[in-house]
Structure 1
Amino acid sequence: MGIKNLTKLLGDHAPGCCKEQKVENYFGRKVAVDASMHIYQFLVVVGRTGDQTLTSESGDVTSHLQGMFFRTAKMLEVGMKPVYVFDGKPPALKKEELSRRVERRGDATDLLTEAKETGADADIEKYSKRTVRVTPQHNEECRRLLRLMGVPVVEAPSEAEAQCAQMCKEGLVYGIASEDMDSLTFATPKLIRNLMKPQTQNVPINEYDYDKVLEGLNLTSDQFVDLCILCGCDYCGTIKGIGGVTALKLIQKHKRLEDVLASMEGGRYEIPDPFPFEEARRLFKEPDVLKGDSMPQLKWTTADEEGLVQFLVGDKSFNEDRVRKAVQRVNAAKSKSTQGRLESFFGPVSIKTSDTGKRKEPATGKGKGQAAKKGKSGVGVKKK
């Protein structure tokens, strides 16, 4: 779910915290990716027509593998270094929200059955998406795929977004690729949204800077956590009638959520019972994550072409020619990303000549531009 109304609140009250980026700007960057969110998107969108999804010849769903393979290939081809982080055990405080999601899926299943009986195509499309669930098998197949692609995988002890944020804080990655705004509540320095949306959707990449979020809202980090809880998050119920603007005004006035709630006593706002805001606050500020020496090493290796062909073509009925071509482009691009990133920081290298004392640009000085240009020839997500 993320944080309710936070995107609009930041757009209206802290516009300087977000800037539009181009995919080329992430050439050579290490980016942590919330795996489960991406897998869910692929199951909902990739190759879906009504309640039909992409499947192998044996009938296994392959939408998640199709999306994961080609999106990751595109990221690698343009010079990014993705690392996928998978969810671990959810916090006990999130069980109520997870139960609500199961209930909503059950309701959607009933509505989908009715839509099929009446032949309402629009309703079939809508309710079939609501029945989607990421299973352990989906996760395991994507882990196998990513390792064959030479992309590191991290198993979070609990919430993937919290683990991504920790990796960003420790400087292991540049930022987080996620659509959920609660990544900012975990204090990630950089949140990147819409990173690999298809260009046909004409959706800009938005990069949020955590320090500028606090500056724009005129809040401390503790107050920002309280604001997010008051807006509505996965760990607490919501207070009816409290939107983003009202929540911001209340936190700016009272400073602490305890004092905000005290001001509501006997008023028009009804506080849910229970409302475990202190536990929610602790989960955001002290999440269960791997830190320091317990963090696995991140290594990007050459993709295993034959292993991918065996898995995707032999087991999952992918088109062999498309798979091989994508792998070959990925392997060709991997060797360029490191040098390109250095040049983007320091600019072309200048060499001082021995005879005139003047400086001139070497012939290789425009390498970064060439690499970025080549990186645009990406692979889109299409039906097999």
Structure 2
Amino acid sequence: MGIRGLNRLVAENAPKAIRSNEMKSFFGRKIAIDASMCLYQFLIAVRQQDGSSLTNDAGHTTSHLMGFFYRTIRMVGYGIKPCYVFDGKPPVMKGGELEKRLKRRQDAEEKATKAKEAGEAQELQKFQRRTVRVTREQNEEAKHLLRLMGIPYVEAPCEAESQCAELAKAGNVYGAASEDMDTLCYQPTVLLRNVTAAESRKLKIDQYDIKEVLKGFDMTIEEFVDMCILLGCDYCETIRGVGPVTATKLIRKYKSLEKIVDAIKQDPKSKFKVPDNWPYKEARELFLHPEVKPGSEINLKWEEPDVEGLVQFMVKENGFSEQRIRDGAAKLKKALKGGTQGRLDGFFKVSGSVSSGKKRTASDSKDKKKKRKTGRSRR
């Protein structure tokens, strides 16, 4: 679900924190991508003309494999080095949200059945997309495909978004890519949205700088997280009647949820009602101190693709075109080799050594001029 209304709030309060760039501008960048989000996207978006999922001869869904294979190749073709991060065990506090999602999926399944019986093709496709859920088998298939492609992945102990943020904070990657705005609460240096969809939908990649976000709101990270909990997150319900504008005003006035809760409870005329046993402190802890693998313990490696392994898995086991898979693997191999070039801005970051090098070059040229003059006078 993410955080309700956060994208609009950031645009209004911290416009300098957001930049939109074409995919080619991220050449040489390593990016941690929320794989679980990608799985949903690919299962929903990659479909046949009649709206049904792609399947192999055995009837098993292959939409996610097509999505990971071709969109990863496109990214690598732009010089991006992707690293995928898979969800681990969800926090206990997320159980309520997962139950809601299950209920929505069951409702969609019932409506899809009715639409099919009524012969309503458009309605059927709409509700079929809402019934999508990612299986453990599909997760494992995606990981197997990435291993064959030579693309690294990380299995998070808990939430994929928090692990992506940890990789960014630790310097393993440039930024964390996810569509969920709650990723900002985990403090990645940079949040990237539309990464996997940018090329296929001709979108630009939106980049959010967490320092500029906090600066624009004039809040500490603790205050920002409290505001996000007020807006509504996956971990707990919110205070009824508190919308985005009110949430921002309350945090700026009281600075913490504790003080907001006390103020509401002490005011008999307050129009707001705090939920019973509201676990906002636990939610805050999950955002500020998530369970992650330390970035210092993770070593990301991009390797040459296993072409014959890809042919075996994608062609012989899942029915894809052999020529297309071989062509894709060739592009991937070439792009991964070319992607070792790095970025110019990364080169010029070492300002001390570069500037001193320029000084030495200048002085060397002066010495050479003197030597040439001395040589001419002697002649």
| Higher mean displacement: 240-249 or 65-74 | 240-249
- Aligned equivalents of 2:328 and 2:151: distance in 1? 15
Counterpart contact for 1:50–1:128, Cα < 8 Å: no
- Aligned equivalents of 1:227 and 1:273: distance in 2? 19
Q: Secondary structure at the match of 2:176?
A: strand
Q: Which residue of 1 aligns with 2:327?
A: 325
Q: Which residue of 2 aligns with 1:84?
A: 84
- Aligned equivalents of 1:233 and 1:200: distance in 2? 29
Aligned-partner residue type, residue 298 of structure 1: L
- 1:99-134 deviation line (CA, Å, top 9, x unaligned): 111111111111111111112222212211111001
Q: Which residue of 1 aligns with 2:304?
A: 302
Q: Which residue of 1 aligns with 2:203?
A: 203
Q: Which residue of 2 aligns with 1:225?
A: 225
Change (3 A) 1:163 1:47: same
- Aligned equivalents of 2:295 and 2:79: distance in 1? 26
- Aligned equivalents of 1:173 and 1:278: distance in 2? 30
CA positional deviation for 1:51: 5.1
Counterpart contact for 1:49–1:125, Cα < 8 Å: no
CA positional deviation for 1:67: 0.4
- Aligned equivalents of 2:305 and 2:39: distance in 1? 20
Cα RMSD, aligned residues only: 2.2
- Aligned equivalents of 2:44 and 2:95: distance in 1? 23
CA positional deviation for 1:54: 0.4
- 1:17-62 deviation line (CA, Å, top 9, x unaligned): 1011121121111100100000100001102455511011221100
Q: Secondary structure at the match of 2:343?
A: helix
CA positional deviation for 1:256: 0.5
- Aligned equivalents of 1:178 and 1:215: distance in 2? 22
CA positional deviation for 1:292: 4.8
Q: Secondary structure at the match of 2:83?
A: strand
More helix by share: 2
CA positional deviation for 1:345: 3.6
Change (3 A) 1:241 1:355: closer
CA positional deviation for 1:342: 4.6
Equivalenced residues, count: 357
Q: Which residue of 1 aligns with 2:181?
A: 181
- 1:46-96 deviation line (CA, Å, top 9, x unaligned): 024555110112211000000011111111121111111111111111111
| Higher mean displacement: 178-187 or 192-201 | 192-201
- Aligned equivalents of 1:10 and 1:292: distance in 2? 27
Q: Secondary structure at the match of 2:19?
A: strand
Q: Secondary structure at the match of 2:154?
A: strand
- Aligned equivalents of 1:48 and 1:216: distance in 2? 44
Change (3 A) 1:45 1:254: same
Aligned-partner residue type, residue 35 of structure 2: A
Q: Which residue of 1 aligns with 2:16?
A: 16
Change (3 A) 1:205 1:56: same
- Aligned equivalents of 1:126 and 1:333: distance in 2? 37
Counterpart contact for 1:50–1:124, Cα < 8 Å: no
Aligned-partner residue type, residue 269 of structure 1: F
Aligned-partner residue type, residue 152 of structure 2: P
- Aligned equivalents of 2:120 and 2:361: distance in 1? 72
Q: Which residue of 1 aligns with 2:168?
A: 168
Q: Is 2:303 the counterpart of 1:287?
A: no
Change (3 A) 1:343 1:8: closer
- Aligned equivalents of 2:361 and 2:119: distance in 1? 75
Amino-acid identity (%): 46
Aligned-partner residue type, residue 314 of structure 2: L
Q: Secondary structure at the match of 1:207?
A: strand
TM-score where L is the length of structure 2:
0.89
- Aligned equivalents of 2:68 and 2:201: distance in 1? 18
CA positional deviation for 1:290: 0.8
- Aligned equivalents of 2:212 and 2:345: distance in 1? 27
Q: Secondary structure at the match of 1:2?
A: coil
Change (3 A) 1:22 1:307: same
Q: 2:314 aligns with which of 308, 312, 315?
A: 312
Q: Is 2:8 the counterpart of 1:5?
A: no
CA positional deviation for 1:13: 1.3
Change (3 A) 1:200 1:284: closer
Q: Which runs of 5+ in 2 are unaligned?
A: 370-379
Counterpart contact for 1:26–1:80, Cα < 8 Å: yes
